[in-house]
């Protein structure tokens, strides 16, 4: 099984971190996530500071993710999930999951970033090694070009019927919390960049 490549091992000039200070970048495949997001985050899914950074190539839990170019600044990312729900009333759809929210990117570097896209989303189990439960696509997932010092808000809407493992209300368990991960790609964005939230609880209509 391939290990996710720490983003600081890539020769890039941009550090992509969450506004609260927690790192939101992980790289590699879609099998597991060895990053450690805080389990005590906000209910809206905003990434929060886990505290206690680590030395070496792996991004610290405190969000310490140095840029190769010290003068390049950083791009701050904030994910807010406003709805993660399922309609479990019969007849239950194969993919009843609804996800709505926003991704805000603030460019603190000296160069423009984008255009790009939120290329894929995933629901992950909680824990040190976070198993991918299912992936999903997003509607209107384009990221515009963002000039230095500017910000952009990208709406997040899960594409209906796009869940990779559709099994009604069995794929995501009602009342259980999952980490939402977004894969981001584009001009000026390091290859393999992924953003994660704190665990978010699924609400259901029974």
User: For the chain, what are the domain ranges?
Assistant: 7-205
- Express each pLDDT in 88-130 by its tens digit: 999 999 999 999 999 999 999 899 999 999 989 999 999 888 8
Run of H or E including 62: none
Q: What is the chain's Cα-based Rg?
A: 17
CATH code, residues 7-205? 2.60.40.10
Half-sphere exposure of 9 (CA within 13 A, CB side): 11
Helix (H, G, I), strand (E, B) or coil at 8: helix
Please report, to the nearest 10 degrees, the dihedral formed by the alpha carbons of residues 200, 32, 67, 182 taken in order: -40
| Segment 119-178, tens digit of pLDDT | 899 999 998 888 999 999 999 899 999 999 999 999 999 999 999 999 999 999 999 999
Q: With a cut of 60, say whether residue 31 has pLDDT above it.
A: no
User: Average model confidence (pLDDT) for the chain?
Assistant: 73
- Structure-model confidence comparison of residues 23 and 152, the more confident one: 152
**Residue whose entry in the numeric block shows the structure tokens 């069995």:** 170
């Amino acid at each position: 099984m391939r290990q996710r490549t720490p983003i600081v091992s890539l020769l890039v000039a941009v550090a992509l971190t969450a506004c609260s200070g927690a790192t939101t970048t992980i790289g590699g495949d879609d099998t597991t996530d060895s990053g450690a997001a805080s389990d005590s985050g906000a209910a809206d899914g905003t990434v929060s500071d886990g505290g206690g950074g680590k030395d070496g190539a792996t991004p610290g839990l405190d969000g310490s993710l140095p840029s190769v170019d010290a003068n390049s600044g950083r791009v701050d990312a904030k994910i807010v999930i406003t709805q993660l729900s399922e309609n479990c009333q019969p007849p239950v759809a194969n993919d009843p999951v609804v996800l709505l929210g926003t991704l805000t990117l603030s460019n603190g570097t000296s160069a423009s970033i984008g255009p790009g896209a939120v290329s894929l989303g995933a629901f992950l189990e909680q824990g040190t090694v976070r198993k991918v439960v299912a992936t999903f696509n997003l509607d209107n997932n384009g990221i515009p070009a963002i000039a230095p010092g500017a910000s952009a808000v990208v709406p997040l809407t899960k594409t209906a019927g796009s869940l990779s493992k559709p099994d009604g209300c069995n794929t995501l368990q009602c009342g259980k919390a999952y980490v939402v991960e977004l894969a981001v790609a584009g001009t000026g964005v390091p290859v393999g960049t992924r953003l994660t939230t704190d665990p978010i609880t699924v609400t259901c209509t029974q």
